[in-house]
Amino acid sequence: DAGVIQSPRHEVTEMGQEVTLRCKPISGHDYLFWYRQTMMRGLELLIYFNNNVPIDDSGMPEDRFSAKMPNASFSTLKIQPSEPRDSAVYFCASSLRGGYGYTFGSGTRLTVV
Amino acid sequence: DQQVKQNSPSLSVQEGRISILNCDYTNSMFDYFLWYKKYPAEGPTFLISISSIKDKNEDGRFTVFLNKSAKHLSLHIVPSQPGDSAVYFCAASARGTSYDKVIFGPGTSLSVIP
C-alpha cells in the first residue's frame, strides 16, 4: 500500500483565494482525520470522518473551512477565503479504528501571503 | 484547554545517554496513550503505545511508563542516537467511547548530540 497520500505537498496562495487540499486514505481504513500543525498549538484536530460521514468538526476554526469525503478513497479540505493565519502544515491521517492511532500522510505546507 | 501537555518544548542529550520525554494529561477518560515521532517534512509516525491497564511497555531502546494516579507518562530512549533527533508527540485517546479520536500534545523537539 502506498500509505496516505496528500496533495499538493506545498501550496502558496494569495490572501482571499480558495485553497483545496486533497487526501487519499489507506484502502480499507474507515476513519479519516484532518490535522493542522502550528508552532503555537502543535497538532490540532480539525475534523474526522467515519465511513465517509463527518463525526466531529468542532476543531474547524471558522466557517471558511469545510471538509468533504465523497467516497472511501478521497477527502478534501477547503479554505475559502484563505488568510495569512491559515499558514500551517495540514496533515491527513487514516485508521481502521478511531482511538488506536493513525497513519499520517506527508502533509501539505500551506503558505498564504 | 489542552488535554495533553508536553511542558518541555525542546531537549538536548548527548549520544549514548538516556533521553526522557514527559507528558501530562487531564482527561481521566483516556485509556490509551501513544508516542509519535516526526522528522522535518514528513508526517508523524507511530513509535510506541501503552494501555491504561499497564504501567510499562518496552520496545527495543524505547520504553513508555504510565502513572495513572499522577496522569503522567514518560518516554525513555536508551541509548540515545543522533537518528533519534526529531519532534516527539505524546497522544491519548478514550477507546470505545464517542471520543474515538487521538488528542496530541504540542510536541518536544529532541536533539541528540554526537
Condensed to tens digits (0 to 9), the pLDDT of residues B8-38 reads 999 999 999 999 999 999 999 899 999 999 9
Q: What is the pLDDT of residues A26-75, one digit of tens each?
A: 999 999 999 999 877 789 999 999 999 999 999 998 899 999 999 999 99
* Min Cα–Cα distance to chain A from B30, Å: 10
How far does the CA of residue A75 sit from the closest CA of chain B (Å)? 17
Grid look-up 498549538 returns A41
- The mean predicted confidence, pLDDT, of chain B is 93
Give the start-end residues of each E strand in chain A: 5-7, 10-13, 19-24, 31-38, 42-50, 53-56, 65-71, 74-79, 88-95, 103-104, 108-112
Q: Residue B64's pLDDT is what?
A: 98
- What pLDDT is attached to residue B99? 59
CA A60 to CA B111: how far, in whole Å? 33
CA distance A64 to chain B (A): 23
Is residue A101 pLDDT above 80, yes or no?
no
Does any CB of chain A come closer than 8 Å to the CB of residue B64?
A: no
Query: Which of B41, B45, B93 lies nearest to residue A99, judging by beta carbons?
Result: B93
CB-CB: which of B43, B46, B101 is closest to A45?
B101
Q: CB-based contact (8 Å) between B99 and chain A? A: yes
Tell whether the model's pLDDT for residue A102 goes beyond 90. no
Contact state of A42 with B44 under an 8 Å Cβ cutoff: no
E strand or H helix at B35? strand B32-38
Q: Please, which pLDDT band fits residue B98 given cuts at 50, 70 and 90?
A: low
Q: For A42, which of B46, B101, B104 is closest by C-beta distance?
A: B104
- What pLDDT is attached to residue A97? 79
| % of residues, chain B, pLDDT over 90 | 83
Confidence of residue B44 (pLDDT cuts 50, 70, 90): very high
